[in-house]
């Protein structure tokens, strides 16, 4: 494996993370499980089909935070550089995820996120292997819809959970959980603070020697012309 001198940088639990010497062909799932010990993120199919490895990414788009639930098993680790990252371990621990109306208390208590609490109340987990992936897809759905004041219909839940497979619980209680989230005490990401932190992750002065990550079509064409023998990864799912 070829190493790169370009660090992998992202925001997690309200703090900047910088990982060095991450090979450019290492997946996000490998980094999470093997390098960071985040074993709540599961490996099922390893092909982006089952959703057990789902995590949520946050990135700035047009001055706003956009959330995406992604399969970390087919997502190259360096492709999340400059983004915010949440795994299932983070939902109850991230200081940027706060109750909308916190109860006065002198003691810190661990509060389940509505995506987690709804799964508990609706009995949406049986063997539990797929549960972290479903919870993260629900978290992404919560941020993109519930926090925007949009209702979660049965059809929307079916569409946005279509990338997560369950082989024992059945989908009815999980779809119930998706709709139950809005009825629970609200929680929200502090997006202003997170956007400020993302803005501080400035791009490196020198591009990595092992990979290029153009963000526009002209930059891609120029890089392709300069490096005709380079391997092109399209969408991180095919080579």
The DSSP secondary-structure symbol of 235 reads T
| Predicted local distance difference test score (pLDDT) of residue 3 | 47
Residue 214 is predicted with a pLDDT of 82
Quick one: pLDDT at residue 215? 79
Q: How far apart are CA 222 and CA 219, in angstroms?
A: 5
Coil, strand or helix at 104: coil
Q: Does the pLDDT of residue 4 top 80, yes or no?
A: no
Report the pLDDT value the prediction gives residue 178, as an integer from 0 to 100: 98
51 and 133 Cβ atoms separated by less than 8 Å: yes
CA distance 2 to 21: 9
Mean pLDDT value of segment 108-113: 74
Q: Is the dihedral of CA 59, 204, 10, 229 positive or negative?
A: positive
Locate 163 and state its tokens: 């990338």
Give residue 191's pLDDT.
95
Structural tokens at position 157? 């839940």
Of 81-90, 128-137, 197-206, the least confident: 197-206
pLDDT tens, residue by residue, 45-67: 988 899 999 999 999 998 899 99
Radius of gyration of the CA atoms of the chain, in A: 19
Position 6 scores a pLDDT of 78
DSSP E strands, the chain: 8-12, 15-19, 54-61, 64-71, 83-86, 97-99, 187-189
Q: Which of 3, 63, 10, 2 is nearest to 38 (CA)?
A: 10
Q: What six digits make up the tokens of 89?
A: 């371990």
- Write down the pTM of the prediction: 0.86
């Amino acid at each position: 494996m070829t190493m790169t001198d370009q660090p992998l940088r992202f925001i997690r639990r309200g703090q900047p993370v910088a990982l060095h010497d991450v090979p450019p062909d290492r997946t996000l799932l490998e980094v999470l499980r093997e390098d960071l010990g985040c074993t709540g993120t599961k490996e099922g199919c390893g092909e982006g089909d089952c959703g057990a490895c789902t995590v949520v990414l946050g990135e700035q788009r047009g001055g706003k935070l956009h959330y995406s639930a992604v399969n970390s098993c087919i997502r190259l680790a360096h492709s999340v550089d400059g983004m915010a990252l949440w795994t299932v371990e983070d939902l109850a621990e991230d200081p940027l995820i706060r109750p909308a109306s916190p109860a006065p208390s002198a003691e810190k208590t661990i509060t389940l996120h509505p995506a987690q609490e709804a799964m508990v109340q609706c009995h949406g987990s049986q063997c539990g292997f797929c549960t972290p992936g479903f919870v993260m897809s629900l978290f992404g759905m919560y941020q993109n819809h519930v926090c925007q004041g949009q209702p979660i219909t049965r059809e929307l839940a079916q569409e946005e959970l279509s990338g997560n497979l369950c082989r024992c619980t059945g989908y009815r209680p999980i779809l119930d959980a998706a709709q139950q989230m809005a009825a629970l005490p609200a929680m929200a990401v502090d997006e202003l603070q997170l956007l400020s932190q993302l803005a501080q992750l400035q791009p490196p002065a020198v591009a990595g020697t092992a990979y290029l990550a153009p963000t526009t079509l002209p930059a891609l064409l120029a890089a392709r012309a300069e490096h005709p023998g380079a391997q092109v990864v399209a969408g991180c799912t095919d080579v």
